[in-house]
Amino acid sequence: MEFQTLIKERHSTRKFKSQEIPEETLQEIFKAINSAPSAGNIQAVQVFAAKKPELKKQIASACFGQNFIAQAPVVLVFCANLKESERLYKERGKTLYAIQDASIAATFAWLAAVNEGLSSVWVGAFNDEELQNAIGSELQPVAVLPLGFADEKPRKTPRKSLKEIIKEI
Ligand SMILES: Cc1cc2nc3c(=O)[nH]c(=O)nc-3n(C[C@H](O)[C@H](O)[C@H](O)COP(=O)(O)O)c2cc1C
């Protein structure tokens, strides 16, 4: 997909078809995740890909009952490996870089998904401990991305003016 089209097409979807995601498509998204930049190139990110219905329900429940998450055929949970980044970058690694590594990886995944004709939404509202229990990891969860074919036309959302967010100095 042409880049500007992709940027315009990407909007949050919270309704998914039950249609499976082809394995090759999923692999393209995984490759995009692995190509994301990271602090010192240490990739302090771990991604959990959930397909089992029971597990997806647990994840949705950890996200304060955002049940649309469990509808998606695949749910990605992006976690920051705070300790790995801390080893190299001390406090800054733990508080900033690992979270950024995971966020950039999630952004790449979302854009790659749209490029493959899929939709998603960034879910940031969750209970850390419940989500960690669901995925069986002590890593810091940063974002949950349900992936699937949209079963709704995504709503275009407004933005601030460029003047408000960009200050040429
Ligand atoms: C950090 C972050 C956390 C978010 N958390 C949630 C969430 O928990 N549930 C949800 O439905 N949408 C969530 N969103 C999606 C935003 O509401 C959405 O991206 C925003 O309204 C802009 O709409 P658009 O993605 O269609 O452009 C989150 C987005 C971001 C970036």
Task: Calculate mean pLDDT across residues 107-113.
Answer: 98
123 lines ligand 1 (CB under 6 A): yes
Under 8 Å between Cβ of 66 and 114: no
In a domain, 106, yes or no: yes
End-to-end alpha carbon distance in the chain = 34
- In ligand 1, the atom with minimum distance to the C-alpha of 11 is 26
Residue 155: is its pLDDT beyond 90?
no
**167 located within any domain:** no
pLDDT value at position 15? 98
Q: Whole-model pTM?
A: 0.98
Whether residue 66 has its Cβ less than 6 Å from ligand 1: yes
Q: Of ligand 1's atoms, which has the minimum distance to the CA of residue 68? A: 11
Q: Which domain holds residue 141?
A: 3-152
Predicted local confidence at residue 12, as pLDDT: 97
27 C-alpha to ligand 1 centroid (Å): 24
CA of 125 to the centre of ligand 1 (A): 9
Q: Is residue 162 part of a domain?
A: no
What pLDDT sits at residue 130?
98
Position 169 in a domain: no
Residue ID of nearest Cα to ligand 1 atom 30 = 122
| Phi and psi at residue 148, to the nearest 5° | 180, 180
**Domain assignment present for 84:** yes
- How many structural domains is the chain composed of? 1
17 domain residue, yes or no: yes
52 found inside a domain: yes
How far is Cα 4 from Cα 9, in angstroms, rounded to an integer? 9
- On the question of pLDDT at 26 being above 90, the answer is yes
User: CATH code at 56?
Assistant: 3.40.109.10
Q: What is the pLDDT of residues 56-107, one digit of tens each?
A: 999 999 999 999 999 999 999 999 999 999 999 999 999 999 999 999 999 9
The amino acid sitting at 91 is: E
Is residue 19 situated within a structural domain?
yes
Check residue 75 and give its pLDDT.
98
% of the chain beyond a pLDDT of 70: 100
Q: How far is the CA of 11 from the centre of ligand 1 (A)?
A: 9
Closest by CA position to 145, among listed 54, 30, 24, 43: 30
